């Protein structure tokens, strides 16, 4: 009987841990290459019409980004709002070269090649 309770407890702990990981990990940032860019101009307004007739507005950006090793790459990404001119961003880029997410960072966090 004790063995059954122990196995049950182990299963509960494993499921709880897995649930916590799924709910807290951001897979858009996990295991991605990081590039840095400074926003120098307003984004291009993009309107997407949804199936239900609603219009979704986002803003497209394109520019030369640089990683920690100084490698440059032309990247495109969009945001759901107009980003602040002069803002420094860390872009998360997958293996296909698509930006999956971004975070605003301070100038001191930027590689010197990107500043």
In three-state form (DSSP H/G/I as H, E/B as E, the rest C), the secondary structure along 26-79 is: CCCCCCCEEEEEECCCCCEEEEEECCCCCEEEEEEEEEEEECCCCCEEEEEEEE
pLDDT tens digits, residue range 56-70?
999 999 999 999 888
Residue closest to 77 by CA, chosen among 85, 105, 90: 90
pLDDT, one tens digit per residue, over 74-91 is 999 999 999 999 999 999
Closest residue by Cα to residue 87 from 41, 38, 36, 44: 38
pTM here?
0.74
């Amino acid at each position: 009987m004790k063995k059954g309770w122990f196995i049950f407890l182990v299963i509960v702990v494993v499921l709880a841990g897995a649930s916590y990981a799924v709910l807290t990990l951001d897979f858009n940032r996990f295991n991605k290459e990081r590039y840095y860019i400074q926003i120098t101009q307003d984004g291009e307004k993009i309107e997407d019409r949804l199936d239900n007739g609603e219009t979704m507005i986002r803003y497209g950006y394109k520019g030369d980004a640089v990683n920690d090793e100084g490698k440059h790459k032309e990247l495109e990404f969009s945001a759901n709002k107009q980003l602040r001119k002069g803002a420094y961003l860390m872009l998360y880029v997958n293996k296909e070269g698509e930006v999956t997410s971004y975070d605003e960072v301070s100038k001191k966090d930027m590689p010197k090649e990107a500043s």
